Protein backbone atom coordinates (compact mmCIF):
# COMPACT_ATOMS: atom_id res chain seq x y z
CA UNK A 1 0.00 0.00 0.00
CA UNK A 2 2.80 2.43 0.89
CA UNK A 3 4.54 1.81 -2.44
CA UNK A 4 1.26 2.25 -4.31
CA UNK A 5 0.58 5.58 -2.61
CA UNK A 6 4.12 6.74 -3.27
CA UNK A 7 3.78 5.90 -6.96
CA UNK A 8 0.44 7.68 -7.13
CA UNK A 9 1.88 10.82 -5.55
CA UNK A 10 4.89 10.74 -7.86
CA UNK A 11 2.68 10.31 -10.92
CA UNK A 12 0.36 13.10 -9.79
CA UNK A 13 3.33 15.40 -9.26
CA UNK A 14 4.65 14.76 -12.77
CA UNK A 15 1.21 15.29 -14.31
CA UNK A 16 0.63 18.45 -12.30
CA UNK A 17 4.07 19.79 -13.23
CA UNK A 18 3.20 19.15 -16.89
CA UNK A 19 -0.07 21.05 -16.47
CA UNK A 20 1.79 23.96 -14.93
CA UNK A 21 4.29 23.94 -17.79
CA UNK A 22 1.63 24.15 -20.46
CA UNK A 23 -0.42 26.69 -18.53
CA UNK A 24 2.50 29.01 -17.91
CA UNK A 25 3.21 29.10 -21.63
CA UNK A 26 -0.21 29.13 -23.28
CA UNK A 27 -1.47 31.65 -20.70
CA UNK A 28 1.58 33.88 -21.19
CA UNK A 29 0.74 37.54 -20.75
CA UNK A 30 -2.68 37.07 -19.14
CA UNK A 31 -1.62 39.19 -16.16
CA UNK A 32 -0.98 42.17 -18.42
CA UNK A 33 -4.11 41.89 -20.55
CA UNK A 34 -2.72 39.85 -23.43
CA UNK A 35 -5.02 37.48 -25.32
CA UNK A 36 -4.75 33.86 -24.22
CA UNK A 37 -4.04 31.24 -25.20
CA UNK A 38 -1.09 32.49 -27.24
CA UNK A 39 -2.26 30.39 -30.20
CA UNK A 40 -5.33 32.65 -30.51
CA UNK A 41 -3.23 35.68 -31.46
CA UNK A 42 -3.16 36.56 -35.18
CA UNK A 43 0.28 36.51 -36.80
CA UNK A 44 2.04 39.44 -38.48
CA UNK A 45 5.20 39.21 -40.57
CA UNK A 46 7.83 41.64 -39.31
CA UNK A 47 9.00 42.20 -42.87
CA UNK A 48 5.71 44.04 -43.51
CA UNK A 49 6.95 46.74 -41.11
CA UNK A 50 10.27 47.08 -42.88
CA UNK A 51 11.42 49.88 -45.12
CA UNK A 52 14.51 50.16 -47.36
CA UNK A 53 14.73 46.38 -47.69
CA UNK A 54 11.00 45.84 -47.72
CA UNK A 55 10.15 42.16 -47.90
CA UNK A 56 13.87 41.43 -48.17
CA UNK A 57 16.29 42.26 -45.35
CA UNK A 58 15.19 45.64 -44.07
CA UNK A 59 14.88 48.15 -41.29
CA UNK A 60 11.92 48.88 -39.07
CA UNK A 61 9.76 51.62 -40.47
CA UNK A 62 8.65 53.94 -37.69
CA UNK A 63 10.70 55.83 -35.13
CA UNK A 64 8.65 54.29 -32.36
CA UNK A 65 7.74 50.86 -33.68
CA UNK A 66 5.75 48.92 -31.08
CA UNK A 67 5.17 45.18 -31.06
CA UNK A 68 2.09 44.45 -28.97
CA UNK A 69 1.00 41.21 -27.36
CA UNK A 70 -2.28 41.16 -29.29
CA UNK A 71 -0.35 39.57 -32.16
CA UNK A 72 2.31 36.94 -32.65
CA UNK A 73 5.13 38.51 -34.65
CA UNK A 74 6.96 36.36 -37.20
CA UNK A 75 10.61 37.23 -37.77
CA UNK A 76 10.71 36.12 -41.39
CA UNK A 77 13.78 38.08 -42.56
CA UNK A 78 16.84 39.75 -41.13
CA UNK A 79 15.33 42.84 -39.55
CA UNK A 80 17.23 45.88 -38.23
CA UNK A 81 16.47 48.66 -35.76
CA UNK A 82 18.38 51.58 -37.29
CA UNK A 83 20.23 54.40 -35.59
CA UNK A 84 17.96 57.00 -34.04
CA UNK A 85 14.95 54.66 -33.96
CA UNK A 86 13.46 52.55 -31.19
CA UNK A 87 11.75 49.19 -31.12
CA UNK A 88 9.43 48.68 -28.14
CA UNK A 89 8.23 45.16 -27.34
CA UNK A 90 5.36 45.06 -24.86
CA UNK A 91 5.22 42.60 -21.94
CA UNK A 92 3.75 39.22 -22.86
CA UNK A 93 4.66 39.56 -26.54
CA UNK A 94 5.85 36.55 -28.54
CA UNK A 95 8.23 36.85 -31.52
CA UNK A 96 8.80 33.69 -33.56
CA UNK A 97 11.80 33.15 -35.82
CA UNK A 98 11.15 31.44 -39.13
CA UNK A 99 13.31 28.44 -40.00
CA UNK A 100 15.36 28.76 -43.20
CA UNK A 101 16.95 25.83 -44.99
CA UNK A 102 20.03 27.74 -46.17
CA UNK A 103 22.51 29.36 -43.81
CA UNK A 104 22.75 32.73 -45.54
CA UNK A 105 18.99 33.24 -45.24
CA UNK A 106 18.78 32.59 -41.47
CA UNK A 107 16.66 35.25 -39.76
CA UNK A 108 17.84 37.56 -36.97
CA UNK A 109 16.87 40.78 -35.23
CA UNK A 110 19.71 43.30 -35.03
CA UNK A 111 19.74 46.60 -33.15
CA UNK A 112 22.18 48.84 -35.00
CA UNK A 113 24.59 51.31 -33.43
CA UNK A 114 22.49 54.19 -32.18
CA UNK A 115 19.30 52.15 -32.30
CA UNK A 116 17.33 51.19 -29.20
CA UNK A 117 15.35 48.17 -28.06
CA UNK A 118 12.93 48.46 -25.13
CA UNK A 119 11.88 44.94 -24.18
CA UNK A 120 10.82 45.25 -20.57
CA UNK A 121 8.74 42.27 -19.52
CA UNK A 122 7.65 41.19 -16.06
CA UNK A 123 7.83 37.94 -14.05
CA UNK A 124 4.43 36.76 -15.32
CA UNK A 125 4.49 38.63 -18.63
CA UNK A 126 7.77 37.61 -20.14
CA UNK A 127 8.77 38.54 -23.67
CA UNK A 128 9.53 35.37 -25.64
CA UNK A 129 11.64 34.91 -28.76
CA UNK A 130 11.28 31.35 -30.03
CA UNK A 131 11.07 29.15 -33.12
CA UNK A 132 8.03 29.47 -35.37
CA UNK A 133 7.25 25.78 -34.83
CA UNK A 134 7.08 26.19 -31.04
CA UNK A 135 3.42 25.94 -30.02
CA UNK A 136 4.25 27.29 -26.55
CA UNK A 137 2.53 24.54 -24.63
CA UNK A 138 5.75 23.11 -23.18
CA UNK A 139 5.95 20.16 -25.60
CA UNK A 140 8.28 21.58 -28.27
CA UNK A 141 11.40 19.42 -27.78
CA UNK A 142 14.37 21.13 -26.16
CA UNK A 143 16.53 19.17 -28.60
CA UNK A 144 15.46 21.66 -31.28
CA UNK A 145 18.41 24.04 -31.65
CA UNK A 146 19.48 26.48 -34.33
CA UNK A 147 15.95 26.91 -35.70
CA UNK A 148 16.49 30.65 -36.25
CA UNK A 149 19.30 33.14 -35.74
CA UNK A 150 19.13 35.24 -32.61
CA UNK A 151 19.12 38.74 -31.13
CA UNK A 152 22.10 41.00 -31.82
CA UNK A 153 22.77 44.41 -30.30
CA UNK A 154 25.47 46.78 -31.57
CA UNK A 155 26.77 49.62 -29.44
CA UNK A 156 29.47 52.28 -29.38
CA UNK A 157 31.45 51.22 -26.31
CA UNK A 158 35.15 50.35 -26.40
CA UNK A 159 36.81 47.30 -27.91
CA UNK A 160 40.39 46.46 -28.89
CA UNK A 161 39.88 45.78 -32.59
CA UNK A 162 42.81 47.15 -34.58
CA UNK A 163 42.99 46.82 -38.34
CA UNK A 164 46.78 46.49 -38.44
CA UNK A 165 46.60 43.48 -36.12
CA UNK A 166 43.66 41.89 -37.88
CA UNK A 167 44.21 42.40 -41.55
CA UNK A 168 41.22 42.90 -43.84
CA UNK A 169 37.76 41.71 -42.85
CA UNK A 170 37.23 38.01 -43.55
CA UNK A 171 33.61 36.89 -43.03
CA UNK A 172 33.18 33.75 -41.00
CA UNK A 173 36.85 33.41 -40.07
CA UNK A 174 36.42 34.30 -36.39
CA UNK A 175 36.95 37.10 -33.90
CA UNK A 176 40.46 37.87 -35.12
CA UNK A 177 39.15 38.77 -38.56
CA UNK A 178 36.06 40.78 -37.62
CA UNK A 179 37.74 44.17 -37.87
CA UNK A 180 36.84 46.54 -40.70
CA UNK A 181 38.53 49.64 -39.24
CA UNK A 182 40.26 50.61 -36.01
CA UNK A 183 37.60 50.16 -33.32
CA UNK A 184 34.96 48.87 -35.74
CA UNK A 185 33.95 45.24 -36.16
CA UNK A 186 31.32 43.19 -37.98
CA UNK A 187 29.21 40.58 -36.22
CA UNK A 188 30.54 37.07 -36.72
CA UNK A 189 28.71 35.11 -39.36
CA UNK A 190 27.63 38.02 -41.54
CA UNK A 191 28.98 37.77 -45.06
CA UNK A 192 29.67 41.44 -45.78
CA UNK A 193 30.92 44.57 -44.03
CA UNK A 194 27.50 46.20 -44.31
CA UNK A 195 27.32 49.07 -41.82
CA UNK A 196 24.06 47.64 -40.41
CA UNK A 197 26.06 44.69 -39.05
CA UNK A 198 28.86 46.69 -37.44
CA UNK A 199 29.63 47.49 -33.80
CA UNK A 200 32.02 49.84 -32.04
CA UNK A 201 33.29 53.10 -33.45
CA UNK A 202 35.51 53.93 -36.44
CA UNK A 203 38.43 55.57 -34.70
CA UNK A 204 40.14 56.15 -38.04
CA UNK A 205 37.62 58.84 -39.00
CA UNK A 206 37.45 60.53 -35.60
CA UNK A 207 34.61 58.60 -33.93
CA UNK A 208 35.14 57.99 -30.21
CA UNK A 209 34.02 55.19 -27.92
CA UNK A 210 31.23 55.79 -25.41
CA UNK A 211 31.40 53.27 -22.57
CA UNK A 212 28.13 54.65 -21.17
CA UNK A 213 26.30 54.07 -24.45
CA UNK A 214 22.66 53.02 -24.00
CA UNK A 215 21.11 50.51 -26.40
CA UNK A 216 17.94 50.07 -24.33
CA UNK A 217 16.45 47.51 -21.95
CA UNK A 218 16.10 43.72 -21.89
CA UNK A 219 14.22 42.48 -18.82
CA UNK A 220 12.35 39.21 -18.38
CA UNK A 221 13.20 38.08 -21.90
CA UNK A 222 13.36 34.42 -22.95
CA UNK A 223 15.28 33.46 -26.11
CA UNK A 224 14.72 29.87 -27.27
CA UNK A 225 15.89 27.45 -29.99
CA UNK A 226 18.20 29.99 -31.68
CA UNK A 227 21.82 29.84 -32.91
CA UNK A 228 21.48 29.12 -36.63
CA UNK A 229 24.57 29.14 -38.82
CA UNK A 230 24.88 32.06 -41.21
CA UNK A 231 27.87 30.40 -42.86
CA UNK A 232 30.50 27.83 -42.00
CA UNK A 233 32.26 29.01 -38.84
CA UNK A 234 29.79 31.83 -38.39
CA UNK A 235 27.00 30.98 -35.97
CA UNK A 236 24.71 33.46 -34.25
CA UNK A 237 24.49 33.29 -30.47
CA UNK A 238 21.29 33.47 -28.48
CA UNK A 239 22.21 37.03 -27.52
CA UNK A 240 25.17 38.73 -29.22
CA UNK A 241 26.46 41.98 -27.69
CA UNK A 242 28.95 43.98 -29.76
CA UNK A 243 30.50 46.96 -27.93
CA UNK A 244 27.30 47.43 -25.93
CA UNK A 245 27.67 50.12 -23.26
CA UNK A 246 26.91 50.09 -19.55
CA UNK A 247 23.94 52.42 -20.04
CA UNK A 248 22.06 49.38 -21.39
CA UNK A 249 20.00 47.31 -18.91
CA UNK A 250 20.10 43.50 -19.22
CA UNK A 251 18.43 41.63 -16.37
CA UNK A 252 16.39 38.42 -15.99
CA UNK A 253 17.40 36.87 -19.30
CA UNK A 254 17.23 33.20 -20.20
CA UNK A 255 18.64 31.40 -23.24
CA UNK A 256 17.17 27.95 -23.93
CA UNK A 257 18.47 25.32 -26.40
CA UNK A 258 20.85 27.54 -28.34
CA UNK A 259 23.06 25.92 -30.98
CA UNK A 260 25.93 28.32 -30.20
CA UNK A 261 26.96 30.41 -27.18
CA UNK A 262 24.14 31.62 -24.95
CA UNK A 263 25.62 35.13 -24.67
CA UNK A 264 28.76 36.37 -26.38
CA UNK A 265 30.34 39.75 -25.72
CA UNK A 266 32.55 41.38 -28.36
CA UNK A 267 34.10 44.20 -26.34
CA UNK A 268 31.81 46.60 -24.52
CA UNK A 269 31.03 47.43 -20.90
CA UNK A 270 27.44 46.22 -20.49
CA UNK A 271 26.39 44.60 -17.19
CA UNK A 272 24.25 41.44 -16.90
CA UNK A 273 22.30 40.35 -13.83
CA UNK A 274 20.00 37.35 -13.28
CA UNK A 275 20.87 35.21 -16.29
CA UNK A 276 20.01 31.55 -16.93
CA UNK A 277 20.82 29.19 -19.78
CA UNK A 278 19.82 25.56 -20.39
CA UNK A 279 20.80 22.90 -22.95
CA UNK A 280 23.13 25.01 -25.12
CA UNK A 281 25.60 23.42 -27.52
CA UNK A 282 28.48 25.81 -26.91
CA UNK A 283 29.66 28.11 -24.13
CA UNK A 284 27.33 29.55 -21.52
CA UNK A 285 29.11 32.91 -21.47
CA UNK A 286 31.81 33.91 -23.96
CA UNK A 287 33.74 37.15 -24.22
CA UNK A 288 36.46 38.67 -26.37
CA UNK A 289 37.85 41.93 -27.77
CA UNK A 290 38.13 43.76 -24.42
CA UNK A 291 34.81 43.12 -22.65
CA UNK A 292 34.77 44.87 -19.23
CA UNK A 293 31.30 44.58 -17.71
CA UNK A 294 29.86 43.27 -14.42
CA UNK A 295 27.90 40.04 -13.99
CA UNK A 296 26.05 38.71 -10.95
CA UNK A 297 23.68 35.75 -10.53
CA UNK A 298 24.20 33.49 -13.53
CA UNK A 299 22.94 29.92 -13.77
CA UNK A 300 23.58 27.34 -16.47
CA UNK A 301 23.16 23.62 -17.13
CA UNK A 302 24.19 21.48 -20.08
CA UNK A 303 22.18 18.79 -21.85
CA UNK A 304 21.76 15.57 -19.91
CA UNK A 305 24.28 12.81 -20.58
CA UNK A 306 21.37 10.39 -20.27
CA UNK A 307 19.37 12.15 -22.97
CA UNK A 308 17.66 9.40 -24.94
CA UNK A 309 18.18 11.27 -28.20
CA UNK A 310 21.91 11.74 -27.92
CA UNK A 311 24.70 9.38 -27.01
CA UNK A 312 27.20 12.23 -26.94
CA UNK A 313 25.50 15.52 -26.10
CA UNK A 314 27.18 18.69 -27.25
CA UNK A 315 29.14 20.37 -24.52
CA UNK A 316 31.66 23.12 -24.16
CA UNK A 317 32.80 25.58 -21.55
CA UNK A 318 30.94 27.44 -18.85
CA UNK A 319 33.00 30.59 -19.36
CA UNK A 320 35.15 30.97 -22.47
CA UNK A 321 37.38 33.94 -21.77
CA UNK A 322 39.43 35.76 -24.41
CA UNK A 323 41.08 39.16 -24.56
CA UNK A 324 42.03 39.12 -28.23
CA UNK A 325 42.09 36.30 -30.74
CA UNK A 326 44.45 38.41 -32.81
CA UNK A 327 47.32 37.23 -30.55
CA UNK A 328 48.76 40.74 -30.62
CA UNK A 329 48.44 41.81 -26.96
CA UNK A 330 45.87 44.43 -27.81
CA UNK A 331 44.45 46.90 -25.27
CA UNK A 332 41.94 47.26 -23.74
CA UNK A 333 41.99 43.70 -22.38
CA UNK A 334 38.88 41.82 -21.35
CA UNK A 335 38.34 42.25 -17.60
CA UNK A 336 34.79 41.53 -16.37
CA UNK A 337 33.97 41.29 -12.65
CA UNK A 338 31.71 38.36 -11.75
CA UNK A 339 30.01 37.13 -8.55
CA UNK A 340 27.60 34.31 -7.69
CA UNK A 341 27.48 31.88 -10.58
CA UNK A 342 26.31 28.26 -10.67
CA UNK A 343 27.27 26.27 -13.78
CA UNK A 344 26.71 22.54 -14.20
CA UNK A 345 28.19 20.55 -17.07
CA UNK A 346 27.21 17.12 -18.32
CA UNK A 347 30.45 15.31 -17.59
CA UNK A 348 31.58 15.10 -21.19
CA UNK A 349 35.31 14.39 -21.12
CA UNK A 350 36.30 14.28 -24.79
CA UNK A 351 38.55 17.19 -25.74
CA UNK A 352 37.14 19.52 -28.35
CA UNK A 353 38.96 20.97 -31.31
CA UNK A 354 39.17 24.46 -29.85
CA UNK A 355 42.10 25.58 -27.72
CA UNK A 356 40.30 25.49 -24.40
CA UNK A 357 38.92 22.00 -23.89
CA UNK A 358 35.81 21.42 -21.82
CA UNK A 359 36.15 23.51 -18.68
CA UNK A 360 33.95 25.40 -16.29
CA UNK A 361 36.35 28.32 -16.78
CA UNK A 362 38.48 28.35 -19.93
CA UNK A 363 40.96 31.22 -19.61
CA UNK A 364 42.85 31.94 -22.80
CA UNK A 365 44.00 34.59 -25.26
CA UNK A 366 45.58 36.74 -22.52
CA UNK A 367 42.28 37.36 -20.77
CA UNK A 368 41.94 39.18 -17.49
CA UNK A 369 38.90 39.16 -15.22
CA UNK A 370 37.62 38.24 -11.76
CA UNK A 371 35.28 35.39 -10.74
CA UNK A 372 34.25 35.07 -7.10
CA UNK A 373 31.90 33.08 -4.83
CA UNK A 374 30.64 30.63 -7.45
CA UNK A 375 29.89 26.90 -7.81
CA UNK A 376 30.93 24.79 -10.80
CA UNK A 377 30.16 21.08 -11.25
CA UNK A 378 30.66 18.14 -13.61
CA UNK A 379 33.02 19.60 -16.21
CA UNK A 380 36.24 17.93 -17.37
CA UNK A 381 38.26 20.76 -15.84
CA UNK A 382 37.42 23.42 -13.29
CA UNK A 383 39.88 26.11 -14.38
CA UNK A 384 41.91 25.55 -17.54
CA UNK A 385 44.65 28.14 -18.08
CA UNK A 386 46.44 28.64 -21.38
CA UNK A 387 50.16 29.10 -20.79
CA UNK A 388 51.82 28.16 -24.09
CA UNK A 389 52.39 31.26 -26.19
CA UNK A 390 52.03 29.63 -29.58
CA UNK A 391 52.08 32.39 -32.19
CA UNK A 392 51.27 35.14 -29.70
CA UNK A 393 53.60 38.13 -29.66
CA UNK A 394 55.09 39.08 -26.29
CA UNK A 395 55.96 36.81 -23.39
CA UNK A 396 52.73 36.12 -21.48
CA UNK A 397 49.36 34.40 -21.74
CA UNK A 398 46.30 34.00 -19.49
CA UNK A 399 48.26 31.79 -17.10
CA UNK A 400 50.77 34.56 -16.45
CA UNK A 401 47.99 37.04 -15.67
CA UNK A 402 46.67 34.54 -13.12
CA UNK A 403 50.03 33.56 -11.60
CA UNK A 404 51.39 37.12 -11.80
CA UNK A 405 54.56 35.88 -13.45
CA UNK A 406 55.21 38.18 -16.37
CA UNK A 407 51.59 39.01 -17.06
CA UNK A 408 49.80 42.32 -16.72
CA UNK A 409 50.64 42.38 -13.00
CA UNK A 410 48.62 42.45 -9.79
CA UNK A 411 47.06 39.07 -10.61
CA UNK A 412 44.85 40.60 -13.26
CA UNK A 413 43.07 37.25 -13.67
CA UNK A 414 41.51 36.31 -10.32
CA UNK A 415 39.58 33.10 -9.66
CA UNK A 416 38.82 33.13 -5.93
CA UNK A 417 36.48 31.53 -3.41
CA UNK A 418 34.81 29.15 -5.84
CA UNK A 419 33.71 25.55 -5.21
CA UNK A 420 34.46 22.88 -7.83
CA UNK A 421 32.36 19.72 -7.58
CA UNK A 422 32.90 16.43 -9.40
CA UNK A 423 35.63 17.62 -11.78
CA UNK A 424 38.21 15.33 -13.36
CA UNK A 425 40.73 18.04 -12.44
CA UNK A 426 40.07 21.27 -10.61
CA UNK A 427 42.90 23.07 -12.36
CA UNK A 428 44.82 22.36 -15.56
CA UNK A 429 47.43 24.09 -17.71
CA UNK A 430 47.04 23.86 -21.48
CA UNK A 431 44.43 21.08 -21.08
CA UNK A 432 46.87 19.03 -19.04
CA UNK A 433 46.96 18.25 -15.34
CA UNK A 434 49.91 15.85 -15.45
CA UNK A 435 53.47 17.12 -15.07
CA UNK A 436 52.76 20.78 -15.76
CA UNK A 437 51.26 22.12 -12.53
CA UNK A 438 53.77 23.70 -10.17
CA UNK A 439 53.43 23.46 -6.41
CA UNK A 440 53.05 27.23 -6.45
CA UNK A 441 50.07 26.83 -8.79
CA UNK A 442 48.18 24.49 -6.49
CA UNK A 443 49.11 26.58 -3.45
CA UNK A 444 47.67 29.67 -5.10
CA UNK A 445 44.53 27.89 -6.35
CA UNK A 446 43.57 26.17 -3.09
CA UNK A 447 45.26 28.10 -0.29
CA UNK A 448 45.76 31.69 -1.39
CA UNK A 449 42.62 31.95 -3.51
CA UNK A 450 40.41 29.77 -1.24
CA UNK A 451 39.01 27.62 -4.04
CA UNK A 452 37.56 24.33 -2.80
CA UNK A 453 37.45 20.84 -4.27
CA UNK A 454 34.45 18.69 -3.35
CA UNK A 455 33.06 15.36 -4.43
CA UNK A 456 29.68 16.21 -2.92
CA UNK A 457 28.18 19.12 -0.99
CA UNK A 458 24.97 19.07 1.09
CA UNK A 459 21.79 19.88 -0.79
CA UNK A 460 23.53 19.90 -4.17
CA UNK A 461 23.05 17.21 -6.82
CA UNK A 462 24.31 17.63 -10.37
CA UNK A 463 23.04 14.30 -11.75
CA UNK A 464 19.86 14.28 -13.76
CA UNK A 465 17.94 12.62 -16.59
CA UNK A 466 15.73 14.15 -19.26
CA UNK A 467 14.19 13.00 -22.52
CA UNK A 468 14.69 15.93 -24.87
CA UNK A 469 12.06 14.67 -27.32
CA UNK A 470 9.29 14.75 -24.73
CA UNK A 471 10.76 17.27 -22.25
CA UNK A 472 10.02 14.79 -19.46
CA UNK A 473 12.46 14.95 -16.56
CA UNK A 474 12.79 11.75 -14.53
CA UNK A 475 15.64 12.91 -12.28
CA UNK A 476 16.29 16.55 -11.38
CA UNK A 477 19.30 18.65 -10.57
CA UNK A 478 19.40 20.38 -7.22
CA UNK A 479 21.46 23.50 -7.80
CA UNK A 480 21.16 25.06 -4.34
CA UNK A 481 23.64 24.02 -1.64
CA UNK A 482 21.92 23.83 1.73
CA UNK A 483 23.24 24.97 4.11
CA UNK A 484 24.83 27.80 2.16
CA UNK A 485 28.53 27.57 1.33
CA UNK A 486 30.54 30.02 3.40
CA UNK A 487 32.21 33.11 1.95
CA UNK A 488 34.16 33.94 5.14
CA UNK A 489 37.40 35.65 4.20
CA UNK A 490 36.27 36.04 0.58
CA UNK A 491 35.85 39.20 -1.47
CA UNK A 492 32.53 40.99 -1.02
CA UNK A 493 30.70 42.39 -4.02
CA UNK A 494 31.12 46.18 -4.15
CA UNK A 495 28.27 48.40 -2.99
CA UNK A 496 28.14 50.29 -6.26
CA UNK A 497 24.43 50.19 -7.07
CA UNK A 498 24.70 47.12 -9.30
CA UNK A 499 25.71 44.19 -7.11
CA UNK A 500 23.45 42.75 -4.43
CA UNK A 501 24.59 41.45 -1.06
CA UNK A 502 25.02 37.68 -1.37
CA UNK A 503 26.98 36.03 1.47
CA UNK A 504 27.02 32.60 -0.18
CA UNK A 505 28.67 30.77 -3.05
CA UNK A 506 26.58 30.12 -6.14
CA UNK A 507 23.66 31.73 -7.92
CA UNK A 508 20.95 30.99 -5.36
CA UNK A 509 20.44 31.57 -1.64
CA UNK A 510 19.69 28.44 0.39
CA UNK A 511 16.49 29.97 1.79
CA UNK A 512 13.67 32.09 0.44
CA UNK A 513 12.29 32.35 -3.07
CA UNK A 514 14.87 32.21 -5.85
CA UNK A 515 15.24 34.96 -8.43
CA UNK A 516 13.89 32.92 -11.37
CA UNK A 517 10.42 33.85 -12.53
CA UNK A 518 7.83 31.12 -11.95
CA UNK A 519 6.89 31.61 -15.59
CA UNK A 520 10.41 31.35 -17.02
CA UNK A 521 11.05 28.26 -19.10
CA UNK A 522 13.94 27.47 -16.77
CA UNK A 523 11.35 27.00 -14.03
CA UNK A 524 8.40 25.45 -15.78
CA UNK A 525 10.41 22.69 -17.47
CA UNK A 526 10.82 21.40 -13.91
CA UNK A 527 14.45 20.41 -14.51
CA UNK A 528 15.99 21.63 -11.30
CA UNK A 529 14.89 20.55 -7.85
CA UNK A 530 14.92 23.18 -5.13
CA UNK A 531 14.12 26.00 -7.54
CA UNK A 532 10.50 25.34 -8.44
CA UNK A 533 7.64 25.87 -6.02
CA UNK A 534 6.28 22.55 -4.76
CA UNK A 535 3.90 21.39 -7.56
CA UNK A 536 1.10 20.91 -5.04
CA UNK A 537 1.65 24.31 -3.41
CA UNK A 538 -0.77 26.07 -5.73
CA UNK A 539 -0.86 29.41 -3.93
CA UNK A 540 2.94 29.29 -3.45
CA UNK A 541 2.80 30.01 0.29
CA UNK A 542 5.43 27.42 1.15
CA UNK A 543 3.09 24.65 2.38
CA UNK A 544 0.66 22.18 0.83
CA UNK A 545 -2.63 22.16 2.73
CA UNK A 546 -6.41 22.28 2.36
CA UNK A 547 -6.23 25.78 0.91
CA UNK A 548 -4.33 24.46 -2.12
CA UNK A 549 -6.82 21.60 -2.48
CA UNK A 550 -9.78 23.98 -2.45
CA UNK A 551 -8.15 26.23 -5.04
CA UNK A 552 -7.53 23.27 -7.35
CA UNK A 553 -11.00 21.85 -6.73
CA UNK A 554 -12.57 25.18 -7.56
CA UNK A 555 -10.88 25.23 -10.95
CA UNK A 556 -12.33 21.94 -12.18
CA UNK A 557 -15.03 22.01 -14.92
CA UNK A 558 -14.07 25.52 -15.96
CA UNK A 559 -13.14 26.67 -19.42
CA UNK A 560 -9.47 27.65 -19.80
CA UNK A 561 -10.05 29.80 -22.89
Least confident of 31-45, 105-119, 392-406: 392-406
Structure confidence by residue, pLDDT tens digits, 304-335: 655 543 444 566 899 999 998 778 888 899 99
> How confident is the model over 438-457, as a mean pLDDT?
95
Report if residue 537 sits inside a domain: no
Report residue 122: phi and psi, to 5°: -140, 170
Report if residue 479 sits inside a domain: yes
Percent of the chain with pLDDT over 70: 81
Report if residue 556 sits inside a domain: no
pLDDT at 350 over 70: no
Q: How far apart are CA 212 and CA 485, in angstroms?
A: 35
Please give the pLDDT value at position 393: 80
Q: Which residues contact 70 (CB under 8 A, 6 or more apart)?
A: 34, 35, 41, 42
Question: Does the global pTM surpass 0.85?
Answer: yes
Structure confidence by residue, pLDDT tens digits, 96-146: 999 988 777 889 999 999 999 999 999 989 999 999 999 998 889 999 999
Q: Which of 217, 315, 233 is nearest to 270 (CA)?
A: 217
Structure confidence by residue, pLDDT tens digits, 155-205: 999 999 998 876 655 655 555 568 889 999 999 877 666 889 999 999 999
Report if residue 546 sits inside a domain: no
Please give the pLDDT value at position 230: 75
Report if residue 534 sits inside a domain: no
Report if residue 299 sits inside a domain: yes
Number of Cβ atoms within 10 Å of the Cβ of 5: 9
> How confident is the model over 346-362, as a mean pLDDT?
70
* Domain region containing 273: 16-529
Least confident of 86-100, 341-355, 409-423: 341-355
Computed over its alpha carbons, how large is the radius of gyration of the chain?
Answer: 23
Report if residue 183 sits inside a domain: yes
Q: How far apart are CA 348 and CA 445, in angstroms?
A: 23
Summary mean pLDDT of the chain: 85
pLDDT at 19 over 70: no
Model confidence at 4, pLDDT cuts 50, 70, 90, reads very low
Please give the pLDDT value at position 483: 94
Q: How far apart are CA 561 and CA 549, in angstroms?
A: 22
158 close to 332: Cβ distance less than 8 angstroms: yes
Please give the pLDDT value at position 267: 96
> How confident is the model over 60-79, as a mean pLDDT?
90
Please give the pLDDT value at position 472: 84
Report if residue 245 sits inside a domain: yes
Domain count, the chain: 1
Amino acid sequence: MKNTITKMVATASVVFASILTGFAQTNLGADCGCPTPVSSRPTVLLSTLATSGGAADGELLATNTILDCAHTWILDKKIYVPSGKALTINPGTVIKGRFRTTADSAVALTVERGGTIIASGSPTCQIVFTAEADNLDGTYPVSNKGKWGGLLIAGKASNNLTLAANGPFQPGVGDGKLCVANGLGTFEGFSSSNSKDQFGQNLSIGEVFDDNDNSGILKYVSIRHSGANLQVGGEINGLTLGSVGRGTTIEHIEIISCADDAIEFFGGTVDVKYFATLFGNDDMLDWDDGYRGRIQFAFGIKSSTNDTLSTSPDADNGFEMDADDQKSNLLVRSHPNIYNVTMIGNGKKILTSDNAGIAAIAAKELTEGEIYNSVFANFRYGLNLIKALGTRTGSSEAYHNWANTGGNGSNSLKIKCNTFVGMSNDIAIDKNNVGVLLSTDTAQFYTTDKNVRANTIPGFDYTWTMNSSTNIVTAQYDATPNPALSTTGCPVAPSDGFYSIAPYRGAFASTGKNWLSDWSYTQVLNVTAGLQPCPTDINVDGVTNNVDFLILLGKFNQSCN
